[in-house]
Amino acid sequence: MTDAIAQLTERLEGRMPKVALVLGSGLGGLVDEVENAVRIPYGDLPGFPQSGVTGHAGQIVAGDFAGRQVLMLAGRAHYYEHGNAAAMRPALEALAGIGIDKLLLTNAAGSLREEMGPGSVMLITDHINFSGTNPLFGEPTDRRFVGLTEAYDAGLRAAIERAAEVTGIELHKGVYMWFSGPSFETPAEIRMARIMGADAVGMSTVPEVILARFLGLRVAACSVVTNLAAGMTGNELSHEETKDMAPLGGKRLATIFRAMLADEALDG
Ligand code: HPA
């Protein structure tokens, strides 16, 4: 057992969550809804990232949410912080090691579709890795050849769609394209992304999806749209806008997750 798994197990004090959520921009407030919560700063866990992005605190909050045990990761490492696409690998390995088998990822994204404006929520059905990198670079075993034909788990996607339906929240579906960041895209890159089949663009999530599939976790991911992508309006993009607009879609996505996690069918 690695140190991180041992320490995490000890700090969870008997809690045995099977579901983990990675909270991106706009979802961070969900940690305050966890009951019987234990809070574990990333700094206490070997290998966990020390994220420096404003608006992302680094801690695990585990406890009861929507009638089940969950583990939330508030704060993630982004590739653009250090150029390490595998920065989340130790954290995800620790989650797999304590018995997490479902991973729900969230992010803020720019939309390529006029009708999917700021405040919208998009279920990611597939991705395009346009970063030029991969979190499994350097992995020496044949396990590195991870199949991604069904990276986004059909059962979890169906559960999210059901939850959106019962809560009456419009849920878009689409392809997320990973750009390295941290600069935003150019209008020409957005035109290219559209031709390539992207519906949204962002700077996270894809490395975690690849790592999670490598580790055998079932994965689903949703974007909260904070802006129309570069060149679609007269305005320049900014991180301030991302932070200001993320709570709008974040609230909707939180409602969907509450309903999804309350659904006992998820255990099947
Ligand atoms: N591009 C990349 N990442 C983003 C965007 C965007 O337009 N909005 C929020 N995150």
Percentage above 70 pLDDT, the chain: 97
Please state the domain count of the chain.
1
Would the CB of 5 count as within 6 Å of ligand 1? no
Per-residue confidence (pLDDT) for residue 21, from 0 to 100: 98
Would the CB of 227 count as within 6 Å of ligand 1? yes
* Spatial distance between the Cα atoms of 94 and 198, rounded to a whole number of angstroms: 32
Q: Does residue 80 surpass a pLDDT of 60?
A: yes
Contacts of 200 (CB under 8 A, 6+ apart): 109, 110, 111, 112, 116, 122, 124, 174, 175, 176, 177, 223, 225, 229
266 CA from centroid of ligand 1 (Å) = 31
Q: Is 243 helix (H, G, I), strand (E, B) or coil?
A: helix
Q: Does residue 99 surpass a pLDDT of 70?
A: yes
Ligand 1 atom closest to residue 179's alpha carbon, by position in its atom list: 2
Q: Does residue 156 surpass a pLDDT of 70?
A: yes
Q: Does residue 52 surpass a pLDDT of 70?
A: no
CATH code, 109 = 3.40.50.1580
Would the CB of 131 count as within 6 Å of ligand 1? no
179 CA from centroid of ligand 1 (Å) = 9
Pick from 203, 201, 206, 205: nearest CA to 181:
203
Per-residue confidence (pLDDT) for residue 109, from 0 to 100: 98
* Spatial distance between the Cα atoms of 105 and 76, rounded to a whole number of angstroms: 10
Q: Does residue 135 surpass a pLDDT of 80?
A: yes
Digit-coded pLDDT (tens) for 32-48: 999 999 999 999 999 99
Per-residue confidence (pLDDT) for residue 139, from 0 to 100: 97
Would the CB of 232 count as within 6 Å of ligand 1? no
Q: For residue 121, list its beta bridge partners.
A: 224
Cα Rg for the chain, rounded, in angstroms? 17
Ligand 1 atom closest to residue 227's alpha carbon, by position in its atom list: 8
Per-residue confidence (pLDDT) for residue 268, from 0 to 100: 62
pLDDT band at 18 (very low <50, low <70, confident <90, very high): very high
Q: Does residue 51 surpass a pLDDT of 80?
A: no
181 CA from centroid of ligand 1 (Å) = 9
* Spatial distance between the Cα atoms of 240 and 84, rounded to a whole number of angstroms: 24
Ligand 1 atom closest to residue 107's alpha carbon, by position in its atom list: 10
Per-residue confidence (pLDDT) for residue 264, from 0 to 100: 82
pTM across the whole model: 0.96
Mean of pLDDT over the chain:
95
* Spatial distance between the Cα atoms of 255 and 111, rounded to a whole number of angstroms: 21
151 CA from centroid of ligand 1 (Å) = 22
Residues 237-256 have a mean pLDDT of 94
Per-residue confidence (pLDDT) for residue 54, from 0 to 100: 55
Would the CB of 108 count as within 6 Å of ligand 1? yes
Would the CB of 226 count as within 6 Å of ligand 1? yes
- From residue 213, alpha-carbon distances to 80, 102, 194, 218, 256 in Å are 22, 10, 26, 7, 23
Q: Does residue 201 surpass a pLDDT of 80?
A: yes
Per-residue confidence (pLDDT) for residue 128, from 0 to 100: 98
Would the CB of 164 count as within 6 Å of ligand 1? no
Terminal alpha carbon distance of the chain: 28
Digit-coded pLDDT (tens) for 166-191: 999 999 999 999 999 999 999 999 99
Helix (H), strand (E) at residue 222:
strand 218-228
The domain in which residue 217 lies consists of 2-267
Residue 34 has what DSSP assignment? -
Would the CB of 203 count as within 6 Å of ligand 1? yes
Residues 246-259 have a mean pLDDT of 96
Helix (H), strand (E) at residue 253:
helix 239-262
> And the tokens for 227?
């802006």
Contacts of 41 (CB under 8 A, 6+ apart): 58, 59
- From residue 59, alpha-carbon distances to 37, 39, 189, 234, 239 in Å are 12, 7, 34, 37, 22
Q: What is the widest separation between alpha-carbon atoms in the chain?
A: 53
Among protein residues, the one with the nearest Cα to ligand 1's atom 9 is 109
Percentage above 90 pLDDT, the chain: 90
Ligand 1 atom closest to residue 111's alpha carbon, by position in its atom list: 7
